[in-house]
Amino acid sequence: MNRRGWGRLLATGIAVGLLVTTGQAGSTAEPNREVRVEPAPAVTLPPEFDEFYSPPAGLVADAEPGEILRARRINPAFFGLIQLNIDAWQLLYRTTNSFGEPISTVTTVLVPKGPAPEGGRKLLSYQIAEDSAAQYCAPSYVIQSGAIPFDYVNAAEVMIPIAAGIGQGWTVALPDYEGPNSSYGTSRLNAQTTLDGIRAAENFAPAQLSGPGTPTALWGYSGGTVPSSFAAEIAQNYAPELNIVGIAAGGVAAADFPAALRHNNRGLYTGLVMGVFAGVSNEYPEVRELLRNSVVDPVTNLLIASKSLLCHPMGTALVPFYDYLGAFQGDPFEHPALRRFFAENALGQHTPSMPVYIYHAQYDEILPNAGVDRLIGKYCAEGAPSVVYERELVAEHISGVAGHIPGAFTFVRDRLNGVPATAGCTITSPVFVPGEPRFWQAMAELLPTAAQALIGQAIGAGK
């Protein structure tokens, strides 16, 4: 049975527990400039079974990048259960895969209750660390009322953009940046889907934005930096009309793919990072052939196949310390298929055209920081307009989730509020961010906002 067949089989089992009403079908559909807004679905289904995600191929091929194909209301919830007092829609839109071919994916648009400020809202595109090669792990499913939070890490991460973005009165976009085939780790595709998701949101009237002139920021941590950081490099060429004022990335994942994969092989997190092979094979047929023909250990074949069925918390926990690379005939990184993937998806191909904030723990146990140091050196040598790089000393990848928040939040807020970025390169090495006043200042603002959202208050209204 192929990957999609296994995915449908798994989704069948999941669907048994998913027949939960997400809201009453509305009597009227809200119009926008391009498509009719459909009512919220009566039943929450994973993307494998939700026909909203599967437009006719001809419809996709005839559309322009970022063009909305379908739109619907949804009822957003935290962990699928706690209702959020936020207006929310999902947009199915046309985008482009790694090879220039038209595909479609979904972005979830969250808007604070109440009227927009004069001139429209600002936009935060937040890229959740999906890190999975199965569709039901996508943010658009996780955030719906009635969804089962198998990916409980992603379900928890949703609260960061809600507290930081909706709480500031911004519109928030959560793209399914891995696309229709759950192409985890494919930087170019992930960045293009993210940028086209911004285009779609800006063309959607209920998002309360002001078109391509909308001040827009991107933010992601860990796997969420794959689209965010690559978007910083290609936005000027791929979507030059967008007004991207800054991009924040913490725990940068694509600075050195080979080093990260070798580092994690036979380690505690080998299950997570080796999921990249499954995700990349969903996009690159030659990588799929490599796995099929060069992995000589049937146990390894089974374990890699499991990555296409499991969200990343379970995929990470499955058989740690395993020697995946030792199961290949020869060094897989020397194979033309992977060499092509690395060449097309590694960071450092272009210099960002907008201000960027980058955080990385000096002793990150999952993603070694040497590659990030080299990347920053390249950006600075090539004259990037503004780079802020924080290298926290007493931290690692997991604690870095909290450690990066004050710097990223402050950076994004300042850029969206029109505060000029510091020119040139600023590199600092804080010892322990949670021990600094700025950490508690950020938490003092974000945690109460998150708590208000969880008890059903309408946050961000009037801002």
* pLDDT tens-digit series, residues 166-188: 999 999 999 999 999 999 999 99
Task: Tell me if the domain spanning 257-344 has CATH number 2.60.40.
Answer: no
The string over 166-201, giving b where at least 16 C-beta atoms fall within 10 Å of a residue's C-beta and e elsewhere, is bbbbbbbbbbbbbbbbbbbbbbbbbbbbbbbbbbbb
* pLDDT tens-digit series, residues 257-270: 999 999 999 999 99
CA distance 151 to 132: 9
DSSP conformation class of 76: B
Q: Which residues contact 137 (CB under 8 A, 6 or more apart)?
A: 130, 150, 151, 154, 182, 311, 312
CA distance 450 to 436: 21
Closest CA to 402 of 392, 416, 388: 392
pLDDT at site 272: 85
* pLDDT tens-digit series, residues 278-334: 999 999 999 999 999 999 889 999 998 999 999 999 998 889 999 999 999 999 999
Residue 26 CA, chain-centre distance (Å), reads 30
Pairing of strands 68-73, 77-78: unpaired
Instruction: Write out the two tokens for 397.
Output: 């990848």
CA distance 77 to 87: 11
DSSP conformation class of 133: S
Q: What number of other Cβ atoms are within 10 A of residue 437's Cβ?
A: 8
Closest CA to 87 of 212, 21, 164, 172: 172
| pLDDT, averaged across the chain | 92
Q: Which residues contact 437 (CB under 8 A, 6 or more apart)?
A: none
Query: Of 4-13, 61-70, 337-346, 446-455, which gets the smallest average pLDDT?
Result: 4-13
DSSP conformation class of 106: E
Q: Average pLDDT of 192-206?
A: 98
Q: Which fold has domain 3-214?
A: Rossmann fold (3.40.50)
CB 453 within 8 A of CB 77: no
Does the structure show a pLDDT above 80 at 239?
A: yes
CB 195 within 8 A of CB 155: no
CA distance 373 to 47: 38
Q: Average pLDDT of 107-114?
A: 97
Every domain range in the chain assigned CATH 3.40.50.1820: 3-214
Every domain range in the chain assigned CATH 1.10.260: 257-344
Instruction: Write out the two tokens for 444.
Output: 């003092």
- Determine what percent of the chain is predicted with pLDDT higher than 70: 93
Per-residue HEC secondary structure of 52-89 comes to: HHCCCHHHHHCCCCCCEEEEEECCEEECCCEECCCEEE
- Determine what percent of the chain is predicted with pLDDT higher than 90: 88
Q: Mind giving me the DSSP string for 197-252?
A: HHHHHHT-GGG---GGGS-EEEEEEGGGHHHHHHHHHHHHHH-TTS-EEEEEEES-
